[in-house]
Amino acid sequence: MEVGKMLIAAGFAAALSLSSVAPARAGDLSGAQLTCYVDTYAFDVPQADWCHSTWTPGTANNPSVAMFSVAGLPAGSYSYAWTDLETGRTPSGCGNAEYCIVPIATETRGDGEARARVVVTDLATGAQRALDATAWYWDGYN
């Protein structure tokens, strides 16, 4: 075999070895967390598993909303099924998305608590994980 053909064959073999990279693995749900924050006039930061805020005049609206969001998922394709744990129903406006916005009011106008659960399904593997979080909204004025 002449040298030119040997180089071409070696190059072709090298290209084939590069193309046999392992396929991407489906997402791992073990790092997933449900975060939340109660929307105020401050720069609210999501917290894992539970969150709270205190209402006083001029610092937030009352009622407000609790923002729940799934964090910690690797790249992949997922579905989301939300449940309001206080009513057992799907919260209004919370569809198949990684976030859910739930109304919340302090105890002067409501119960000051919002509890949510989301079941995350990895569409590549069918693996599921349920995540819960609770938001509290306290009255710091009355």
H or E stretch including 136?
Answer: strand 128-139
CA distance 87 to 8: 69
Domains of the chain (ranges, CATH numbers): 26-139 (2.60.40)
pLDDT at 17: 40
**Which band of pLDDT confidence, cut at 50, 70 and 90, is reported for residue 4?**
very low
Q: Could you tell me whether strands 128-139 and 50-55 are parallel, antiparallel, or unpaired per DSSP bridges?
A: parallel
* pLDDT tier at 123, thresholds 50, 70, 90: very high
Nearest to 81 by CA among 128, 137, 23, 133: 128
For residue range 34-57, what is the model confidence (pLDDT) as tens digits? 999 999 999 999 999 999 999 999
Question: pLDDT (tens digit, 9 = 90+) per residue, 11-35?
Answer: 434 443 434 433 335 568 999 999 9
CA dist 94 → 6, 7, 41, 121, 136 (Å): 62, 60, 23, 16, 19
Which residues, 6 or more positions from 60, have their beta carbon under 8 angstroms from its beta carbon? 38, 39, 40, 41, 42, 53
Least confidently predicted of 51-60, 98-107, 108-117, 122-131: 108-117
| Sign of the CA dihedral with 83 first, then 88, 90, and 94 last | negative
Q: What is the mean pLDDT of the chain?
A: 85
Residue-level pLDDT at 27: 65
The residue ranking higher by pLDDT, 107 or 132, is 132
